[in-house]
Amino acid sequence: MAGLDDLYQELILDHYRRPRHRGTLAHPAIIVDQHNPLCGDELHVTVCLDGDRITEIAHTGEGCSISQASASMMSDAIVGHTTGEALELIEHFRQVMHREVQADEDQLGDAVALEGVNKYPVRIKCALLSWMALKDGLLTRMVDQQESR
């Protein structure tokens, strides 16, 4: 059972069993849905902002252990950051998943435990699902703001 223990570390299982930030926020600034074409899983993410700062994130939807744990860890890692910082963090996590850089624990917090997923290409999509949802939401909001100016 050696190899797989990277994928199913205790920390990941913990976030899977007791997901943080699960649910839907009442008055979100950002609402976004993302689906994983491989398994059909859908994720719903809501975000509250104070100016440019992310004050709260919530996620709901069906998913495997990896996507659920990842959404939980992502929320932990992102809350409190500005949207610009969040985009950088997301990009860092994307690079970790694609083996372009080593994971930086200071930035990622518990999500650093997901690094081992990058040995399982199909599951990378599971790990990235919530992060890509948030990125989509942040970028869409930026475009909307540009246009409403």
Partner 1 sequence: MPLAADIDARALRADFPIFAPVGDREPLVYLDSAATSQKPTAVLDAMDRYYVETNANVHRGVYALAEEATARFEAGRDAVARLVEAPREGTIFTKNATEAINLVAWAWGVRNLRPRDVVLVTEMEHHSGIVPWQIVAEITGARVVFAPITGDGELDLDWIARTLREAPVRMVNVVHVSNALGTINPVAEIARMAHEHGALVLADGSQSVPHMPVRFADLEADFLAFTGHKMLGPTGIGVLVGRPAILADMEPFLGGGEMISDVRTDGCDWADLPWKFEAGTPPIAEAIGIGAAADYLRHIGLEAVRAHERALVAYALDALEDVDGLRVYGPPDPDRRGAPISFSMPDLHPHDIAQLVDRQRVCIRAGHHCAKPLMRTLGVNATARASGYIYNDSADVDALVRALHAARAYLGG
**Number of residues engaging partner 1 in binding (CB under 8 A):** 24
Q: What is the Cα–Cα distance from 57 to 55, expressed in whole angstroms?
A: 7
Residue 115, interface with partner 1 (CB under 8 A)? no
| Shorter beta-carbon distance to partner 1: residue 13 or 143 | 13
Binding of partner 1 at residue 132 (CB under 8 A)? Answer: no
Contact (Cβ atoms closer than 8 angstroms) between residue 102 and residue 96? yes
Q: How far is the CB of 34 from partner 1 (least distance, A)?
A: 11
- Nearest-CA neighbor of 79 among 104, 102, 45, 103? 45
If one asks whether residue 14 binds partner 1 (CB under 8 A), the answer comes out as no
Asked if 129 and 63 touch (Cβ cutoff 8 Å), the reply is yes
Site string (19-48) toward partner 1, x via CB under 8 A: ----------------x-xxxxxx------
Note whether 138 binds partner 1 by CB under 8 A. Answer: no
Alpha carbon distance 93, 131 (integer Å): 8
107 makes contact with partner 1 (CB under 8 A): no
Nearest Cα residue to 134 out of 90, 68, 76, 82:
90
Task: Please report whether residue 18 would count as binding partner 1 according to CB under 8 A.
Answer: no
> Contacts with partner 1 in 57-86 (CB under 8 A)?
62-66
- Asked if 10 touches partner 1 (CB under 8 A), the answer is no
Q: How far apart are CA 17 and CA 124, in angstroms?
A: 20
The alpha-carbon radius of gyration of the chain (Å, integer) is: 15
Residue ranges in contact with partner 1 by CB under 8 A: 1, 4, 7-8, 13, 16-17, 35, 37-42, 62-66, 120-123, 126
